[in-house]
A and B are shown apart, each in its own frame.
Chain A
Amino acid sequence: MSERVVSPSQYEGDLRLTCDVVVVGSGAGGATAAATLAEAGLNVVCLEEGGYYRTADYSADISSMLRTLMRNGGATATMGRAQVPYLEGKCVGGSTVINGGMCWRTPEKILHTWAHERGLPELSPDRLEPVFDEVERIIHARYQDAGSEGENNDVFREGATSLGWKLSKNKRNQVHCVGSNDCVTGCPSGAKQSTIFTWLPRFWANGGTLYTHCRAERLVSDNGRVTGVTGVIADHPGGRRFTVRARAVVLAGGAVQTPLLLLRSRLGGACGQVGRHFTIHPNVKVAARFDRPVDSVRGAHQAWQCVEFERDGILMAPGLVPVAFRSVAFNDFGPRLAQRMRDHGHVATGGILVDDHAAGRISLLPMGIPFVHYEVTEHDQERFVLGAARLAEIYFAAGAREVFLPFHAMPRLRSPDDLPKLLASKPRPEDTEYFTAHLMGSCRMDAHPRRGVVDPDGQLWDAPGLYIADASIMPSTIGVNPQVTIMALARVVGMKLADRLSARVAA
């Protein structure tokens, strides 16, 4: 199959295109929407800010891959009392190239809330079930192959099982994951099914064309209707620009970049909601040292989650990452860290995800500088501490000798007897090391124009012709890894737009 990817080196001068629909972004939302629209027979162009890198391009040099695949080399953070580093993919495939591949459907209780409180019956569990089925089939969501999980997953499972806590096996979008343990910098074996292997081939097969290195700067409007997008050709000299005119524009740059583009274009502002209700589903890391060896190189990133405390909004999971990423989890450097890293073959790593109740905000400062503000609430922080204690219990139950925590005031537990001290210590958010890759909200969908940025079809309430199909339209946080939800929402938005443009959606 022909990969219809055009890079700036393949043409000279500025780029000017006209099409039915232009989609900005090629990640979980953009690729899904683009494929859906192309399958409906529409003439679709997809724009991507980053470059096109395939399996053979993913090298073992982590620092090089961070620069190549992620925005700002993966070193962006929210501002607030605690700074939370977050990752955004900036390459064809977007964040699906750099994620761990977890495939969770939106929890039913969340979908009920969206349906009843936000007036979105199309997003009820019954209506979305066939969409989830289809998404999971297309992205090959499935359980890990037997034997490929590795010891980092095994010790987690052993600990949780011995405590009698409920475990859930993860489905991941992978075909024959062979435990390379390099998900975050591009799967080196081609097992992870990013949109490059799933939605984009469908897009290309149906006549869609993807243009790389196109950084969208502003949306173009004519008589109040959005009719295109313009921007610069990134990472290429000469100040070249692009302009794409279309019957409809679909934004899918993610929960941070989409509101920034709206704010720069002064669109969607009537409701005063652009950039608001931003949630990040933060997580913290925990490491545990065992007497017995725990393989830190071989295995799957995450094959299980402990859902015993799901009702409290707390998920716990193992998280196998390369040794270089492990070095960051200890929050140290030099000889002290070197001493600990010598034991890496006896260390298991995991994390706690909290279904956050905070509402961050994305805005533009003077000079157009992006500002991403987020505060961890007291309630969320209590659950992080509780979650860390529970995860430590899992590791102690599996035989850990000590557990390393992300809290400045209490960085280590030497036995289960220390757990009450941890719970009593009440670490503050600014003394906690968080991390996230699950950015959501910021342009939420709502049936009422004053409460949301987009309508139930995904179209901006006050900017006809402009649609959003990414994590930013989630009406609230979902408490699980978001890629399947993003794809389902993008599929719905794409199908509705295709109908509206009088095209037939392929069965």
Chain B
Amino acid sequence: MTFAFRGHSRLIARAVVDAMVPRWPDFEHDITDEVLSRVERLVEGQPAAVQSLCVAGLWFFELGSFAFDPRRASIRPLTAVDRETCERRLTGIAHHPVANIRKSILLYQTFVNLCAYDLPVVESYLGAERRAWREDRARLRESLVQLDEGRALPPVPLPLADPKFINPSEYLTPGVEPKRPAPSPAPRRARPEAAEAEARPQLQSVKPTGKPRTQRKRSQGK
């Protein structure tokens, strides 16, 4: 079942997320709605009891958070005050001396931070672009593995970042390419485990009694 904050709960959730998302003077993106949507998906992954507690927590923030504003500026509900007041109130809860009051906001704080700082625009703003780095690494490893496949392998492969292939000081440099060694006269040898697997017959000893559909094929990822 798809979970979503509904009705007034959604307005409260949006106010909470809006107060918690990162803002910088030169950061122009409004990420509140995207983060809210991601937070909803995380709440959806919780057991029903926790989902109910999440909604109950929102109402606690809505009606009770005024008591945690150090300025005591207003007793209006959270959704009726400006973002600055909202943020002050939630900070008052998050840093309250009583642990159980602090804990009431911890789940939202964690969810919002994880969802916000993972956004490509935020990563890019912070100069921490993970997506490009992941792709770069996958490419490098693939190149190294291909080189490794050309070598005679012991039962447990040796480290590939052999200075023969890649300079250790450049290992974490984006876009680095391994050096290609001259073709080796050594014959290629399959990994013992793979050879063993190939030699064994594929037993079809267990079959579901349900009606089978077409067999799905998956590629062997590295």
Contacts and interface: CB of A to CB of B under 8 A. Distances in A.
A63 interface: yes
Interface stretch (B7-15, B64-72, B110-118): B110-118
B149 to A, nearest CB: 12
Given A137-B156, A176-B141, A334-B19, A15 B128 contact: no
Interface string A328-368: 10011111111001101100000000000000000000000
Given A145-B161, A296-B128, A333 B141 contact: no
Interface in B95-141: 95, 97, 99-100, 102-103, 107, 109-118, 123, 126-131, 133-134, 137-138, 140-141
Interface stretch (B55-63, B168-176, B180-188): B168-176
Contacts of B194: 1
B114 A17 contact: no
B221 A190 contact: yes
B173 to A, nearest CB: 9
A75 interface: yes
Contacts of A11: 208, 210-213
B75 interface: no
Interface stretch (A269-277, A317-325, A385-393): A317-325
B172 A150 contact: yes
B197 A328 contact: no
B179 interface: no
A223 interface: no
Interface string A11-24: 11111111100000
B126 A73 contact: no
A357 B25 CA distance: 48
B218 interface: yes
B2 interface: no
Interface stretch (A103-111, A205-213, A301-309, A452-460): A205-213
A474 B39 CA distance: 36
Given A10-B216, A431-B99, 13 more contacts: A12-B211, A17-B207, A43-B203, A66-B114, A67-B42, A175-B157, A175-B160, A178-B141, A190-B138, A190-B141, A323-B118, A324-B115, A324-B118
Interface of B: 19-24, 38-39, 41-42, 44-47, 49-50, 87, 90-91, 94-95, 97, 99-100, 102-103, 107, 109-118, 123, 126-131, 133-134, 137-138, 140-141, 144-145, 148, 155-157, 159-161, 163, 166-172, 193-194, 196-198, 200, 202-216, 218-222
18 contacts: A11-B210, A14-B210, A19-B206, A45-B206, A60-B118, A66-B42, A73-B45, A140-B156, A147-B166, A202-B193, A296-B128, A297-B130, A323-B118, A323-B123, A338-B22, A342-B126, A344-B126, A369-B49
User: Which 9 pairs from chain A and chain B are nearest by CB?
Assistant: A147-B168, A207-B203, A147-B171, A145-B161, A11-B210, A205-B197, A73-B45, A338-B22, A430-B99
